[in-house]
């Protein structure tokens, strides 16, 4: 079975420039939050509160990055409006990539902990 | 690309070129996963400095040196790369609607941001080498240069691709029916951006 779908068919489903600008502003604010969090925790002005935040620093940073990643993929790369096949072709390898990173990091952490304990 | 390209029929009903670029981007996820894993696995396993976030003692002079990472400059590069994603999507919006002025202005702004980012990385690499950090120096140097170097190469390829699109747009050879060509370049550019969204905290912010 074949189907005729012009390349521009979905073009008008895409967000407006105003929406793109709002997403850009959110991305900028999230980046500023990331750097602010770093300065607050490790910078020259870091105080007692910074030390209290330190255990949550990496999880917070990863959450902020994940939100930025999702916003760019959904709105700027149009995955929110485009065919689900494109989402599948991107998200499936992305999940494998995340599993690979986690597996290698956990494996190495286990290896080094084991090596230290003898 | 033929003007009739948009009229091609496919089994999926989707443009094969877009499916191809998404498949390529999927494979690139795996590629960068290996490089990011390599960086994380070797993080903190340096026998000698320079270090990313900690002061270090130069064995030759006995002098205590500052950490090598410079957050402000990289933050500026990161912000411009993020804004370039906004600019290229606005350029695509203009291209799809035949708004040549909008296409040229925002594509030009995207190119400026991309060139600034590459320049920032060239400066950073030169600065690091001058401070004694090379590929062979320690595990941080090896994994850092490989990860950010490959990303920088991708940015450079993206700049060349977008510059080609800009040239075509100036010549009037990027009408709405051919805007999928810019859409492919834009998808690649966004991917380069999302990779940096991961690299920036992993390399520069997490200690």
- pLDDT tens column, B131-182: 999 999 999 999 999 999 999 999 999 999 999 999 999 999 999 999 999 9
Asked if residues B104 and B169 have their Cβ atoms less than 8 Å apart, the reply is yes
Residue B202 DSSP label: I
Q: Do B26 and A89 touch (CB under 8 A)?
A: yes
What residues in A contact B79, CB-CB < 8 Å? 28, 31
Complete domains list, chain B, with CATH: 76-207 (1.20.120.80)
Q: What is the pTM of this model?
A: 0.91
Determine whether the interchain pair B90/A86 forms a contact, defined as Cβ–Cβ distance below 8 Å. no
| pLDDT value at residue A7 | 44
- Looking at the predicted structure, is the pLDDT value of residue B49 above 90? no
Nearest CB among B6, B22, B27 relative to A8 is that of B6
- Residue A86 in this model has a pLDDT that exceeds 90: yes
Residue B48 CB neighbours (<10 A): 15
Query: Cβ(B156)–Cβ(B129) under 8 Å?
Result: no
Identify the CA nearest to B128 among candidates B168, B68, B64. Answer: B68
* A6 pLDDT tier (thresholds 50, 70, 90): very low
8 Å CB contact of B86 and A23: yes
Query: Angle at the Cα of A89 (from A86 to A91), degrees rounded to 5?
Result: 100
pLDDT at B1 over 70: no
Mean of the pLDDT values across residues A10-20?
Answer: 79
DSSP letter, residue B53: S
A100 touches chain B (CB under 8 A): yes
How far is B45 from B66, CA to CA, in rounded Å?
18
Say if the Cβ atoms of A100 and B32 lie within 8 Å: no
Residue A50 binned pLDDT confidence (cut-offs 50, 70, 90): confident
Which residues pair with residue B10 across a beta bridge? A3
Q: Is the peptide bond before B50 cis (omega within 30 degrees of 0)?
A: yes
- Which B residues in the span 39-58 are in contact with A, Cβ-Cβ below 8 Å? 40-41, 53
With 70 as the cut, is the pLDDT of residue A9 above it?
Answer: no
Chain A contact for B105 (CB, 8 A cutoff):
no
Mean pLDDT of B50-62: 85
pLDDT of B3 > 80? The answer is no
- The DSSP 8-state label assigned to residue B48 in this structure reads S
Q: What does each C-alpha distance from B96 to A9, B4, B174 come to in angstroms? A: 10, 16, 9
User: Minimal Cα–Cα distance from B25 to chain A, Å?
Assistant: 7
**What is the distance between the alpha carbons of residues B201 and B192, in angstroms, rounded to a whole number?**
15
Q: Tell me the average pLDDT across A62-68.
A: 97
pLDDT above 70 (res B8): no
Interface of A with B in 40-69 (CB under 8 A): 42, 57-58, 61-62, 64-65, 68-69
ipTM of this complex prediction, to 2 decimal places: 0.91
What is the rounded distance in angstroms from the CA atom of residue B179 to the CA atom of residue B107? 13
Q: What is the pLDDT of residue B27?
A: 97
* pLDDT of B122 strictly over 60: yes
Write the pLDDT tens digit of every residue in B58-93.
888 888 888 888 899 999 999 999 999 999 999 999
Judged by average pLDDT, the poorest of A9-23, B30-44, B67-81, B193-207 is: A9-23
- Please state, in angstroms and as integers, the Cα–Cα distance from residue B186 to each residue in A71, A107, B86, B99, B204, following that order: 15, 36, 10, 17, 26
Check pLDDT > 50 for residue A1.
Answer: no
Q: What is the DSSP string of B151-195?
A: HHHHHHHHHHHHHHHHHHHHTT---GGGHHHHHHHHHHHHHHHHH
* pLDDT > 90 in chain B, percent: 78
**Chain A interface mutation, best of B13, B147, B205, highest count of A Cβ atoms under 10 Å:** B205
More confident residue, B47 or A99: A99
Instruction: Identify which of A38, A60, A77, A55 has the alpha carbon closest to the alpha carbon of residue B75.
Output: A38
Judge whether residue B107 has pLDDT over 90: yes
């Amino acid at each position: 079975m074949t189907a005729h779908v012009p390349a521009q068919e979905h073009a008008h489903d895409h967000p407006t420039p105003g929406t793109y600008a709002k997403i850009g502003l959110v991305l900028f604010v999230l980046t500023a939050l990331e750097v602010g969090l770093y300065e607050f925790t490790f910078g020259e002005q870091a105080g007692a509160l910074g030390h209290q935040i330190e255990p949550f620093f990496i999880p917070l940073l990863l959450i902020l990055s994940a939100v930025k990643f999702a916003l760019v993929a959904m709105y700027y790369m149009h995955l929110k409006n485009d065919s689900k096949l494109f989402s599948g072709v991107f998200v499936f390898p992305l999940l494998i990539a995340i599993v690979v990173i986690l597996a290698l990091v956990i494996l190495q952490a286990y290896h080094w902990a084991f090596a230290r304990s003898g | 690309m033929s003007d009739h390209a948009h009229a091609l029929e496919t089994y999926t009903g989707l443009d094969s070129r877009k499916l191809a670029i998404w498949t390529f981007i999927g494979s690139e996820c795996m590629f960068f996963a290996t490089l990011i894993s390599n960086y994380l696995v070797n993080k903190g396993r340096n026998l000698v400095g320079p270090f990313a976030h900690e002061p270090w003692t130069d064995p030759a002079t006995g002098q205590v040196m500052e950490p090598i990472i410079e957050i402000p400059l990289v933050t500026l590069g990161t912000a411009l790369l993020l804004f370039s994603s906004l600019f290229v999507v606005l350029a695509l919006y203009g291209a799809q609607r035949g708004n040549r002025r909008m296409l040229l202005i925002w594509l030009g702004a995207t190119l400026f941001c991309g060139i600034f980012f590459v320049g920032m990385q060239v400066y950073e690499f030169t600065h690091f080498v001058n401070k004694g950090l090379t590929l062979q120096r320690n595990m941080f140097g090896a994994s850092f240069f490989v990860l950010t170097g490959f990303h920088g190469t991708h940015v450079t390829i993206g700049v060349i691709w977008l510059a080609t699109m800009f040239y075509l747009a100036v010549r009037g050879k990027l009408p709405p029916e051919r805007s999928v060509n810019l859409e492919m370049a834009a998808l690649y550019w966004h991917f380069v951006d999302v990779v940096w969204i991961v690299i920036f905290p992993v390399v520069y912010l997490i200690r």
